[in-house]
Amino acid sequence: MEHLRNPQRTSTKLAIALILLFLIPTATPLIGSTGADTSGRAAPDFGVSLMTMSGAGSIDRGDGITVEPAAHDIRVVVKNTGDIGGSASLQLVHKGSPTAGEYIVTTISLGTIPALTTSNPIIIPWTATTGDDQTLFARVTGNGDSNPANNEQRKDFDVKNNHSGISVSDTVPTLAPGETSVGLTRTVQTINASVRNNGVKNISAVLEVTLTEQSNPSNSFAYYSNTQTLQSGSLYAPSSPKDLTLAYDPSALSGLWTLDVKIFYNGTLWNDAPSIASVTVRLSNYTASLSSLGDRSIEPGQTGTLTFLLKNTGGLQDSFQISSIT
């Protein structure tokens, strides 16, 4: 009888084993699910999206940043690109030279920054003192930040009293191709120049035009424009151009004259007078211009039309005789 019961027990054990085979895989993910949720949970991701300067002179001309020794406003914008909100704080850190230690200017609590949002600009007062190779860091920190790699921006700069002005554009007459002088009528002439502050200190600008008679260089006349004050700009708000306008009356002059154009810039214990143009002008009420001929390709035996443009640039009616030389 015992021998007959063995197959029944074996069948029972086999059935239990099969049931366990189905139950164990089902239970296994449940055991590991807690760990999986921990590694992939939502988290904030804080970063510094903007760091710039305003409130005093600062400029980046492409060869490095120059900053005025004065009180500045450091403007910082922080963003949270993470899945959830979180609390964060911002530090402004200064380094006076490549070998100097870091100095914490201030630490600001930003409170909670919601997910996928950007803060309003945070304004931090900071005073720059003279010296080269300085650095400012803006650093944001927060609990649970998922990506610390984007938590900092830096500005490297020199601090000094830098004066500079540049001419952006002008209406000084220019030579036409093939010409050696510019014909101007003996009536009131106007020259405009657009200038801009290219430094970190406020300066003033004046346009000067000088006419010098070529046959008698001692005979010279100088004319001056209005004066413009050129405010320095900043990294946040660059300087804008201003116009200088000058009118001069050459009605008593005639013949060939050299027209020199300069901009006089003046600042504290500083001045500069770069030349922006020098051209020979022909003062006469009888002037004209003849356009140069463009290249033509004419096959042997064929004919072509040559077109010139003659323009009376003088102040009076005139007649012209045109001849061709081959």
14 or 179: which carries more pLDDT confidence? 179
Alpha carbons 3 and 310: distance in angstroms, whole number: 130
Per-residue confidence (pLDDT) for residue 298, from 0 to 100: 75
Instruction: Give the model confidence (pLDDT) of 203-228 as tens digits.
Output: 999 999 999 999 999 999 999 999 99
Domain boundary among the residues 94, 129, 159 is at: 159
Is 118 contained in some domain? yes
Per-residue confidence (pLDDT) for residue 188, from 0 to 100: 96
Q: Which structural domain range is residue 138 located in?
A: 46-159
- 135 with 184, same domain? no
pTM for this structure? 0.75
- 105 with 203, same domain? no
- The amino acid at residue 18 is L
Is 301 contained in some domain? no
DSSP labels for 100-147?
A: SPEEEEEEEEEEEE-TTEEPPPEEEEEE--SEEEEEEEEEEEETT-S-
Structure tokens at 307: 């077109």
Is 36 contained in some domain? no
Instruction: Give the model confidence (pLDDT) of 269-310 as tens digits.
Output: 999 999 999 999 999 866 566 666 666 677 787 777 767 676
Is 82 contained in some domain? yes
Neighbours of 26 (CB within 10 A): 8
The CATH number covering residue 108 comes to 2.60.40.10
Per-residue confidence (pLDDT) for residue 22, from 0 to 100: 57
For the chain, the average pLDDT equals 87
Is 119 contained in some domain? yes
- 184 with 273, same domain? yes
Domain boundary among the residues 125, 159, 193 is at: 159
- 176 with 283, same domain? yes
Is 32 contained in some domain? no
Alpha carbons 125 and 117: distance in angstroms, whole number: 24
- 247 with 195, same domain? yes
Cβ-contact 158, 113 below 8 angstroms = no
- 148 with 223, same domain? no
Number of domains in the chain: 2
Phi and psi, residue 41, nearest 5°: -70, 155
33 or 178: which carries more pLDDT confidence? 178
Cβ-contact 211, 250 below 8 angstroms = yes
- 140 with 170, same domain? no
User: Which uninterrupted H or E stretch holds 170?
Assistant: strand 165-170
